[in-house]
Amino acid sequence: MTACRAGCRLCSSAFPSKRWPSGRHGIRQAGFFTTVIGENNNRLTYLLAWESLAEREAKWTAFATDPVWHKARDESERDGQIVANISSQLLTPTAFSSVK
């Protein structure tokens, strides 16, 4: 598994980066990152922006059940599994954050 393979799958198959802002399901990405210094340099981290928990639940469910995504995922894993672990966290900006 590599962050590059996982990132390439997201960017070049069902959800190319240029489509993320409006995307098939309206999912807005805030950024994709790989680890340069620290543990696990094969990690791909991405942030998605949601207006509410209800929006996240509706849009993520639509994405997770999308047959186009399932096909792209299955094709990208023909040579082996890409994702070994998924960790989800919901964050909210602090009062002093530059991100609102």
Does residue 42 sit within a domain?
Answer: yes
What predicted TM-score, i.e. pTM, was given to this entire model? 0.73
The pLDDT tens digits for 56-92 are 999 999 988 989 888 888 888 888 888 888 899 999 9
The structural domain count of the chain equals 1
Instruction: Please give, one letter per residue, the 3-state secondary structure of 44-89.
Output: EEEEEECCCHHHHHHHHHHHHCCHHHHHHHHHHCCCCCCCCCCCCC
Query: Quick one: how far is CA 67 from the chain centroid?
Result: 17
Of 5 and 35, which is predicted with more confidence?
A: 35
Does residue 88 sit within a domain?
Answer: no
Does residue 70 sit within a domain?
Answer: yes
Does residue 100 sit within a domain?
Answer: no
For residue 31, list its beta bridge partners.
47
The pLDDT tens digits for 10-55 are 555 545 554 444 478 888 888 888 888 888 778 888 899 999 999 9
Which domain, by its residues, includes 68?
Answer: 3-76
pLDDT at 4: 54
* CA–CA gap between residue 21 and residue 28 (Å, rounded): 5
